[in-house]
Structure 1
Amino acid sequence: MEQATDAEKNMAVFEFLDFKRKNKIRPFVDKLIERHMAMKPTMKL
């Protein structure tokens, strides 16, 4: 489990979720795209 910092605990819930989402979605999507491109290198997006 992740430990939230004091600053994160003091955020409003929606701000906290948005903050977490921005931090996690981007690298996750990048990783998916890289994996997809590695599997199908000739495919055009």
Structure 2
Amino acid sequence: VYNYILNQEKHHKKKTFKEEYLELLKKFEIEYNAKYLFDWIE
């Protein structure tokens, strides 16, 4: 877990949290309304 957390900065240089989050919603076929998602800080 410690190493996973340490590598998050590198990981998010490839993909933003928003991109990763939306991909997970699609991957698991979770329906969502964008107006109820986070206010994204980029």
TM-score between both structures, scaled by the size of structure 2: 0.33
Of Structure 1 and Structure 2, which has the larger fraction of its residues in helix? Answer: 1
Larger-gyration structure (1/2): 1
Higher relative contact order (CA 8 A, sep 6+): 2
TM-score between both structures, scaled by the size of structure 1: 0.31
